[in-house]
Amino acid sequence: MPEQLSLRFPLRREYSFASFEPGSSAEAVQQLSTLARAPGFVGLWLWGAGAVGKTHLLHATCQLHAGRVGYLPLTDLLEDTDPQGVLTSQEPLDLLALDDLDSWLDDLDRERALQGVYQAQVNHGGKLLVTSQQAPSAMRMQLPDLASRLRALSCYQVQPLGDVSKKRLLQDRAKERGLIVADNVLDFWLSRGDRNLSSLLDQLRLVCDVALRQQRRITVPLLKDVLQF
Amino acid sequence: MWTRKNGIDTTVRCVEMAQVGSSFWGLWVASTVWQKCLDRLQDELSSQHYNTWIRPLQVRQGDAGIEILAPNRYVKNKIRADFLERIITLLQEESLGDDGDELSRDQVQLDVGNLDDSKAAPLRADGSGGPKVRTSHRLQSDFTFDSFVKGKSNELGFAAASQVAVNAGLSYNPLLLYGGVGLGKTHLMHAVGNAIRENNPSARVVYVHSQRFVQDMVNALQRGTMKEFADYYHSIDALLIDDIQFFAKKLRSQEEFFNVFNGLLERDNQMVLTCDRYPREIDGLEERLKSRFVWGLTVEVEPPELETRVAILMKKAEADQVNLDPEVAFFIGERIRSNVRELEGALRRVIANAQFTGQAISIPQVRRALRDLFAIQDRQVSIPNIQRVVAEYYNIKMADMLSKRRSRTIARPRQMAMYLAKELTSHSLPEIGDAFGGRDHTTVMHACRKIIELRETTPGVSEDYRNLSRLVAG
């Protein structure tokens, strides 16, 4: 079990590799799940639109990695009175995961703090994971040195799941709760509802709750009732 | 508890310093005690005995106390038989604390060994090594002249660095390498350090990033140990300082570095510096430092030209035991021009993808592996962007894309755009319909079905889809 350092940002147990549907991001998932085996410093940058599973992957990797690990959501960290100070005082770890670079970069002081952390991880021979919504080449950075170092990390785009993968995931999640969602119901759902995975999973929770409470099967009429299609 | 005469608990001190990434303070305490012990032994013993048996010993701060290392079993046995008792007595006397605690016998260990710099810095009786030597020179062993790829862009820097390596302190001092990021300045700097150490293994060579220098100085100020800090830097044979532009606007650091700089140059100790620009262009740097930085030789390292980029890729692939076709190397080198660092990052990504997919490295495989990096990488995939790209591809107007016109020349591109929007974005079908002139979601469903059908039956549509996917999403 990893020794997690920051209790302020605890790891979410439900975010595991087992519960992640890789879709077309299988290579990134494979790299992350075998990260601990690589010797010395290794850095990976995951990027992609919101709600495609980047945070899920960071949590899953941290939970699988041995040694001292740390997960820091940078957007949340910005609410701290001294965000740079928190980052600067971060001691080198076996694995450090920094979520959501978009909010952190393009600020000289914050970038300097990040550069220090990067260099400390390199010197320590630890692993570094970062995520962003924008592509690495599109991220604005004030420190060219930091930019070139970060862009030289292995970059993987986490793609949104296709409909086939989404259906499989929704069916699996429903099955975990003892419910079945037929293909035609899912076709109806995906052709009318929000196709953002995070929203779909929220909706599924809601639908499952109602189905269990009312002892009903998940059908198109139930979806219409619950989701107001 | 073993304490120094000033009452500092060395064990605790070591732990504290390890937490801030440095352990030379604990070592310094042990070394000070050891040096005093040596001084007394030198007085007590004949020079022959001292030089034969005591001089080869090394000492380091161990977890439980002091570890004395003999170069071989023969010396160890001799020390144990004839000198160890006296050494322990002297160590106990010299380490006696104010509270009367002293070093116990079992806190002194004698063993055979040779200190590796990465574990602890040695203190020999002949003075090589020493109390102020850091526990690690921080040189990257794989950054050598052999692993550096020369080209027109960096040949001057390479030649100057090679000269400095064989004539440390005598040829160009300081050697300042400047240029953009990721071009190999740090590699050359480490190569100089590694070569100096290879020529003279006892040379005290230290690589430090300027930010680390500043941080160490701040720590020393907080702990009131500025003298030790200064002594440490003054004791180095070759100092390699990376990214001196970070000294800008840090006046106290500049002052300390100015003193270190002068001290080292006065003794002809080599300095190698790197900077991301010509030093005189750094705002917030004192004039006296700017002028001193360019006293020796200042060389610009330029971005590598295509042939050098290809050579770098080939060499890196060879080091990783990967077969890389020169044609593929040219393909990558032509597209990634920014710097060596990103070039190597791209190759790592290509190799990882080849290993994952089980495919040989080829141009199509590189295209897939690096699609994030190539050309379209920074475009956001959005419905308006898809509409624009598709309209341009089929040479129709954006207005037509959103219009009610149903002629095939307009409808087919519109259907393709709807299909791409469904495949490449997370928008719901009603949202996609809205974005195409307020169409119903069933129209989007029909468009998607149509394109799926045509992709299977019409090669031209299949090719259009592949091309457009690449254009939109990279």
Give the CB-side neighbour count of residue A117, counting CA atoms within 13 A: 29
Of the three residues A157, A183, A210, the one that is the final residue of a domain is: A157
Of the three residues A109, A141, A157, the one that is the final residue of a domain is: A157
Q: What percent of chain B has pLDDT over 70?
A: 82
Q: Are residues A152 and A190 in the same domain?
A: no
Q: C-alpha angle B464/B466/B472, rounded to 5°?
A: 95
Contacts of A49 in chain B (CB under 8 A): 381, 426
**Residue A151 touches partner B, C-beta closer than 8 Å:** yes
Q: Are residues A30 and A137 in the same domain?
A: yes
The pTM is what? 0.63
**Residue A123 touches partner B, C-beta closer than 8 Å:** yes
Contacts of A194 in chain B (CB under 8 A): 426, 428
Give the tens place of pLDDT for each residue, A49-78: 888 899 999 999 999 998 899 999 999 999
Question: Number of folded domains in chain A?
Answer: 2
Q: Are residues A124 and A206 in the same domain?
A: no
Say if residue B145's pLDDT is above 90: yes
Structure tokens at B107: 């806190």
CATH number, domain of A63, equals: 3.40.50.300
Say if residue B140's pLDDT is above 90: no
- Give me the pLDDT at residue B273, please: 95
Q: Are residues A114 and A200 in the same domain?
A: no
Q: Are residues A111 and A76 in the same domain?
A: yes
ipTM: 0.77
Give the tens place of pLDDT for each residue, A139-188: 889 888 898 899 889 989 898 888 888 899 899 999 999 999 999 999 99
**Which of B339, B377, B429 faces A137 most closely, judged by CB atoms?**
B377
Give the Å distances, CA to CA, from B221 to B16, B253, B324.
16, 11, 52
Q: Are residues A150 and A188 in the same domain?
A: no
Q: Are residues A15 and A120 in the same domain?
A: yes
Q: Are residues A94 and A9 in the same domain?
A: yes
The band of B463, judged by pLDDT with boundaries at 50, 70 and 90, is confident
Give the tens place of pLDDT for each residue, B11-45: 222 323 333 333 333 444 566 778 778 888 878 88
Q: Are residues A139 and A184 in the same domain?
A: no
What is the amino acid identity at position B407? S
Cβ distance of A144 and B356 shorter than 8 Å: no
Say if residue B242's pLDDT is above 80: yes
**Residue A228 touches partner B, C-beta closer than 8 Å:** no
What mean pLDDT do residues B220-240 have? 88
Q: Is residue B287 packed enough to be buried (19+ CB in 10 Å), middle (13-18) or exposed (0-12)?
A: exposed
- Give me the pLDDT at residue B415, please: 95
**Shortest CA gap B114–chain A (Å):** 24
Of the three residues A116, A134, A157, the one that is the final residue of a domain is: A157
- Per the structure, the complete domain to which residue A116 belongs is given by 3-157
User: Would you tell me which residues 365-394 of chain B have a C-beta closer than 8 angstroms to some C-beta of chain A?
Assistant: 372-373, 377-381
For residue A73, the SS3 value is strand
Q: Are residues A200 and A131 in the same domain?
A: no
Q: Are residues A18 and A70 in the same domain?
A: yes
Q: Are residues A100 and A189 in the same domain?
A: no
Mean pLDDT of the residues in chain B: 80
Mean pLDDT of the residues in chain A: 89
User: Would you tell me which residues 91-120 of chain A have a C-beta closer than 8 angstroms to some C-beta of chain B?
Assistant: 91-92, 112, 115-116, 119-120
Say if residue B378's pLDDT is above 50: no
**Residue B222 touches partner A, C-beta closer than 8 Å:** no
